[in-house]
Amino acid sequence: MAGLAAGIASGLPVYEADETPGGICSSYYVRPGEAERLHVAPSDGGAYRFEIGGGHWIFGGDAGVMRFMSDLAPLKRYTRRSAVYFHERDLYVPYPLQDNLRYMPRELAAKALIEMAAPPGPFKTMKEWQLEYFGPTLCETFFFRFHELYTAGLHERIAPQDAYKSPVNLSAAIQGAFEETAPVGYNITYAYPMEGLNTLAQRMAARCEIHYGKRAARIDVNRKIVHFADGSEDGFDVVISTLPLNSVLTMTGLSVDAEPDPYSSVLVLNIGARKGPRGPSDHWYYNPDSRSGFHRVGFYSNVDRSFVPASDRGNESSVSIYVERAYPGGTNPGAGEVDTYCDDVVEELQDWGYIGKAEVVDPTWIDVAYTWAWPGSTWRAQALRLLEEEHSIYMVGRYARWMFQGLADSIHDGLLTGACFRKR
């Protein structure tokens, strides 16, 4: 999406690796009992809608960017409903956990509050940060277990990141131990295109000079040539890239004097199924104790019923779900392992009562899904400076800049950077 925005603002040609626009932020459709991915909604409405990379809900964003998106594809707004689900206890605690301790056993909540009241000490890693701010009780109950899954085991070594996702406020925690508190976090409300993200991507692409099936394979920074996987090439004066930062360094053959920061890959499993007897109504759950190893399960169709076949939208008979499991960057499960995992997840969600018969089970591998940093790392800053200041390769978007940000902010970055090179 950041690349499409840059193409619109700059007027420069866009080279897209796939045959459809939008990258991991795009929708697709699968009919019940079939495997073919459709990139346009069937006219009869008889398909589940999924996202390539799981639920991409649009939060934040300035008014201008939101207007830009809504003019292309009308948006609908939603209020977040999410929780932590402890399957071992069969316990749901609204997000954020630390502000809803009244749902926890009384003794545990009291102990957690005492620990949170202690002044935090020094820390370097994400795990140490959690321990200092949340205390051992909440960490052993949730934070350590969840982040072991979410970071694929990196939380003991990486620097703290995105603290605003789980805000720490002792007053709110005390209040939440006794009564309802005001919602907090970065995505209290969010938006989504009424016709799906693929519609937004397609309408953005229609404003670009876009070339499909052009997967960049190598960038010759000396001769200023991009070589594509199909054997073609094109010269450049300036490149605006939305590829992951580590991938661009590899393509250019460049390196910096710092250890590369780590990343996690994610296997996104999209499921269309009949609704189970205990199917929840929340939008997504954080899962610290799934036996299949996933850390989050989200319910597209609880956000909007347009994610299920048209014949089921007036009732609660079917669900569209995404399930996320993280892997250490650089690893990749084989086909057999993926098949086994898919079967295990379906069985587990059936055991939980979330789903009945699965009608679509469709996995997608996201190689660079979550980006992290080593404590004190200068790798990102050095890499960006090398590419941008010395070789005119400008990095735009979440993965290119190796940071967490939402879709709206990525589009903002693309529009801004693209506009800087409009005259070229």
Note whether residue 416 is domain-resident. yes
- What are 305's two structure tokens? 């019923």
Which of 355, 371, 387 marks a domain boundary? 371
List C-alpha distances in Å: 264 to 150, 158, 373, 423.
9, 12, 11, 38
Give the count of beta carbons closer than 10 Å to the beta carbon of residue 114: 11
Last residue of a domain, one of 176, 211, 237: 176
Question: Would you call the peptide bond into 328 cis, given omega within 30 degrees of 0 as the criterion?
Answer: no
Q: Which residue is listed with tokens 């990379």?
A: 53
Which of 300, 266, 258 is CA-nearest to residue 283? 300
DSSP notation for 73-137 = S-EEEEE--EEEEETTTTEEEESSGGG-GGGS-HHHHHHHHHHHHSPP----SHHHHHHHHHHHH
Give the 3-state secondary structure of residue 398.
coil
Q: Is residue 40 part of a domain?
A: yes
User: C-alpha distances in angstroms, 210 versus 195, 204, 229?
Assistant: 22, 10, 17
User: pLDDT at residue 423 above 70?
Assistant: no
- C-alpha dihedral over 314, 188, 157, 92, to 10 degrees? -60
pLDDT (0 to 100) of residue 165? 72
Q: Could you read off the pLDDT of 220-273 as tens digits, one per residue?
A: 999 999 999 999 999 999 999 999 999 999 999 999 999 999 999 999 999 999
CATH number at residue 352: 3.90.660.20
Same domain, 245 and 380: yes
Looking at residue 354, its pLDDT comes to 98
59 shares its domain with 206: yes
Which amino acid does the sequence have at 382? Q
Same-domain check for residues 221 and 157 = no
Same domain, 389 and 415: yes
The C-alpha atoms of residue 422 and residue 372 are separated, in whole angstroms, by 32
The helix/strand/coil state of 65 is helix
In this prediction, residue 193 carries a pLDDT of 95
pLDDT in tens, 331-376: 999 999 999 999 999 999 999 999 999 999 999 999 999 999 999 9
From 195-199, 307-311, 370-374, the region with the lowest mean pLDDT: 195-199
pLDDT, tens digit (0-9, with 9 covering 90-100), for 154-173: 999 999 987 767 778 999 99
3-class SS string, 270-308: EEEEEECCCCCCCCEEECCCCCCCCCEEEEHHHHCHHHC
Domain-embedded: residue 345 = yes
Tally of domains within the chain: 3
Whether residue 67 is found in the same domain as residue 104: no
CA dihedral (424, 206, 38, 228) in degrees, to 10, reads -20
Question: Is position 182 within any domain?
Answer: no
Residue 187 in domain: no
Please tell me whether the overall predicted TM-score, pTM, comes out greater than 0.85 for this model.
Answer: yes
Give kind and range of the element (H or E) at residue 349.
Answer: helix 335-351
Q: Give the separation between CA 374 and CA 365, rounded to whole angstroms.
A: 24
Whether residue 273 is found in the same domain as residue 238? no
Same domain, 100 and 16: no
Stretch among 5-9, 21-25, 135-139, 227-231 having the lowest mean pLDDT: 21-25
Kindly tell me if the per-residue pLDDT of 27 is higher than 80: yes
Q: Is 88 exposed, middle or buried (0-12, 13-18, 19+ CB in 10 A)?
A: exposed
Check which CATH number belongs to the domain holding 399 and give it: 3.50.50.60
The mean pLDDT value for 386-414 works out to: 96
Angle, in degrees to the nearest 10, between helices 126-138 and 106-117: 140
The reply to whether 213 and 343 lie within a common domain is: no
256, with CB counted inside 10 A (0-12, 13-18, 19+), is middle
Q: What is the DSSP string of 147-181?
A: HHHHTTT-TTTSPP--GGGS---HHHHHHHTTS--
Examine the domain organization and report whether 379 and 247 are in the same domain. yes
Mean pLDDT, range 11-36, rounded to an integer: 95
In this predicted structure, what is the pLDDT of residue 424? 60
Domain extent at residue 63: 2-73+196-256+375-420
387 plus 412 within the same structural domain: yes
Q: How far apart are CA 273 and CA 33, in angstroms?
A: 10
Q: Is residue 185 part of a domain?
A: no
Of 259, 256, 246, the closest CA to residue 157 belongs to 259
Domain assignment present for residue 191? The answer is no
Task: Say whether both 122 and 206 belong to one domain.
Answer: no
Token pair of 390 as six digits: 């010395």
Scan for tokens 């809608």, then name that residue. 49
Residue 211: closest CA among 229, 198, 195, 197 = 229
Q: Does any domain span residue 366? A: yes
pLDDT of residue 164: 66
Model confidence over 48-106: pLDDT tens digits? 999 999 999 999 889 999 999 999 999 999 999 999 999 999 999 999 999 999 999 99
- 63 with 95, same domain: the answer is no
Q: And the tokens for 68?
A: 């830009």
